Amino acid sequence: MWRTRGFRLWVLAIVMTLLPLAPSAFSESMVSFGFTTYGVPDCPAFDFQTTLFSAPIMTYLLGWHLFAVPLAFAFWLVTRGGRASRVTGRVAACYVLLLALVNPALVAYDVVTAGSGCWRLWEPLAVWNLGVSACDVTAAALVLWAVRPAGSRPHARLRRTAGVFGVCCLLLAAPVADRGADDRYTGLDVAMRVYAQDPGTDGSSETERLFAAISAYERAAEDEGGLSEGGLSEEDDCGTWTVLHQSYGDTPPRDRERAFLCTARDVAGYAPRLVTLPDRELLAFGRALCGVAGRPSTEPRVRTLLDQAGAYDWSWSLMNALVFLCPDAVAPKWPDLVLSEAEGRKKEDDYRARMTAHCSDPARRLRAVRQATTALSVGEGGGYLVEGDTYGSGVGGPRRLDRAFDRVIDWLTTTAVSVGTAVENSPICLTVKALNQAPRSRLKGWDKVTETGISSVDGRIELLWEGDGSLPNLAVAGSGRYRVRVYVRGQEKALAYASEGPVEEHLVLVFPGSSGKTLFLRG
């Protein structure tokens, strides 16, 4: 049987079916693609494909795609080309052909009906998908040729194949046939749910109520002189929220819609499609987002809204805009966004006081001119800066580190030293001491100790970090040259387990000294 025409056609069909797997055999991972959807129109076929392929039953249908032709071939061998094997072959061919034609048909529908802008959504995968479709179409044609009985009439074969193909279409449509009401909606779609409806439109159609609500809102906005079709009016100043970053708690209720419009148009990198919406639609869309604020982005309705906004997921910037419309929805997961500036500062002060209670002066016997002990909250990436050019005169130049010193000195200049920390976005215990003269090098109990020299340009040496707060001026002798000695311990312990308080500990001593040499005393 292996010498027959049918056997050779079956083998070629199997090769074409498995050919798309070849790229993964020559790399450690499957082919992956990345693309952005900013600025593209609504593409219904792309949304349909997302819904279709996310249905649980599609996992099984697509999973059997690579096995359909080999299994039908095995059945063909067992039955030696009988009637049952021919029917099975046609079913397998139609199944493969149907899946092969889905993507090209969806691409064509979007490009024809929604415009060429949708091509940006499909383009990253178009070449790959069309190549796979071509292999599958070829495989289906080979299978149909292999199971064709000798002497059969072409019209009869065509009717049988079309019938099987129609059944496969119905099976493929089954996962999305009972999806219920369409869960896609935009600002216009929810406008009548957001704004009070005109009492005289209770008996009218949904469309009439929608436009009546929009018209009523537009008249009210015009009377107030606030909102416009294209954006905020000229007299509205967004700098209060986009530059000065006035918080929700400090914004009067009458200005909160305006604050939302300003901040929503200021999150272009996180929700770019909000920027282009007119005021009334942006407000309606914002309230639609408020209805699902904080819910998992994997939920279909949430995912649809975030996609329409151009947002990958809930972000701080997006929630910082929504808080002006729905503080109750935002507060459970982002409580700091509803605070006033004074409340936020008090919360930070209380937190710093609780963390500082875990810290103590590790060099109590060392008398200093000025000193302070605090829980320093280091930010993203960790670290802090001992700076001798606090007014930014720019006189400092870079210096080379002749020897690496892990997690203590990151980089040096003639006026500054950057000190690294093992933790980030967490507090450390920090003690700073300004001395009149060099102290003894007490190394016991410390893991790493280093010393270097910097210059004070303006008579100040300050410790700078991402957080707020003040520490004393460490330049006790005015402008000139100083030595900075940094003691570090507890870094490995801080990385090993989570603690309620700071574990990593730093001691920074600053005293007059002319040397610029960097010394690694321990570590």
Q: 184-215, pLDDT tens digit by residue?
A: 333 444 433 433 343 444 434 444 444 454 44
Give the residue from 111, 145, 177 where a domain finishes. Answer: 177
Mean pLDDT score, 290-297: 87
Q: What angle do CA 373, 374, 379 make, to 5 degrees?
A: 140
Give the residue from 123, 145, 177 where a domain finishes. Answer: 177
- Per-residue 3-state assignment (H helix, E strand, C coil) for 343-362: HHHHHHHHHHHHHHCCCCCC
Q: Of 255, 250, 245, 253, which is closest to residue 342 (Cα–Cα)?
A: 250
* Whether residue 82 is found in the same domain as residue 205: no
Tell me the per-residue pLDDT of 83-129, one tens digit each, with 9 for 90 and over.
777 777 778 777 777 777 777 887 787 777 766 666 666 666 667 77
**Looking at per-residue confidence, does 523 or 232 come out higher?**
523
Q: What is the CATH number of the domain that holds 418?
A: 2.60.34.30
* Whether residue 383 is found in the same domain as residue 512: yes
Share of the chain above pLDDT 90, in %: 23
Token pair, residue 159, equals 């009717």
Q: Report the range out of 86-95, 305-314, 356-365 with the highest average pLDDT.
A: 356-365
Q: What is the pLDDT of residue 226?
A: 47
Q: Of 477, 472, 485, 476, which is closest to residue 521 (Cα–Cα)?
A: 485
346 inside domain: no
Q: How far apart are CA 284 and CA 186, in angstroms?
A: 8
Inter-residue contact 419 to 386 (CB < 8 Å): yes
* Whether residue 19 is found in the same domain as residue 133: yes
Tell me the per-residue pLDDT of 493-502, one tens digit each, with 9 for 90 and over.
988 887 888 9
* Whether residue 194 is found in the same domain as residue 327: yes
404 inside domain: yes
Mean pLDDT score, 51-71: 64
Inter-residue contact 431 to 371 (CB < 8 Å): yes
What residue type is assigned to position 286 of the chain? G
The predicted model scores a pTM of 0.50
36 inside domain: yes
350 inside domain: no
Q: How far apart are CA 318 and CA 341, in angstroms?
A: 19
The mean pLDDT of the chain is 75
Least confident stretch, 340-349, 404-413, 428-437, 450-459: 404-413
Tell me the per-residue pLDDT of 465-518, one tens digit each, with 9 for 90 and over.
876 667 899 999 999 999 999 999 999 998 888 788 899 999 999 999 999 888
Domain ranges, residue 220 = 187-338
* Whether residue 13 is found in the same domain as residue 160: yes
Strand partners, 232: 227
* Whether residue 173 is found in the same domain as residue 191: no
* Whether residue 292 is found in the same domain as residue 334: yes
Q: Of 360, 330, 351, 55, which is closest to residue 178 (Cα–Cα)?
A: 55
Token pair, residue 223, equals 């009377």
Q: What is the pLDDT of residue 1?
A: 55
Q: Of 241, 238, 251, 240, which is closest to residue 340 (Cα–Cα)?
A: 251
Q: How far apart are CA 171 and CA 28, in angstroms?
A: 35
Mean pLDDT score, 295-304: 87
Q: What is the pLDDT of residue 3?
A: 65
* Whether residue 503 is found in the same domain as residue 367: yes
484 inside domain: yes
* Whether residue 208 is found in the same domain as residue 148: no
pLDDT band at 377 (very low <50, low <70, confident <90, very high): confident
Number of domains observed in the structure of the chain: 3
Give the residue from 177, 210, 231 where a domain finishes. Answer: 177
90 inside domain: yes
Inter-residue contact 288 to 190 (CB < 8 Å): yes
Tell me the per-residue pLDDT of 265-285, one tens digit each, with 9 for 90 and over.
888 778 888 888 888 889 988
Token pair, residue 237, equals 């100043």
Token pair, residue 298, equals 């994997």
**Looking at per-residue confidence, does 144 or 249 come out higher?**
249
